[in-house]
Structure 1
């Protein structure tokens, strides 16, 4: 089994770090959110994966190395 570092980034305006984290978590957990793109790092390689596209298309369409 391989090991991957998966990242998700978002810019959020908030009054405190805790508020920013809560807002990000809310957006990430929203089933209708468009925040579905993740960076996947492994063995010095980076791949961007749009999980929304993966669910509806062929994987090669959604994955960009």
Structure 2
């Protein structure tokens, strides 16, 4: 299973401190990863693990007709 950038996680935890946001879970989406591969991640901030991942397909409508 891939890991998420430690610096991004640390930055997010710092941002969340003292705010009225969910302190337990975070969603990460990487559009650098090729479509069809796992690029949507649900991350447990308290335990430091990815608890779910999924391919993310972006559907762009075709308005050319």
TM class by shorter chain equals 0.3 to 0.5
TM-score normalised by the chain length of structure 2:
0.34
TM-score normalised by the chain length of structure 1:
0.34
Higher helix share: 1
Higher relative contact order (CA 8 A, sep 6+): 1
Q: Which has the larger radius of gyration?
A: 2
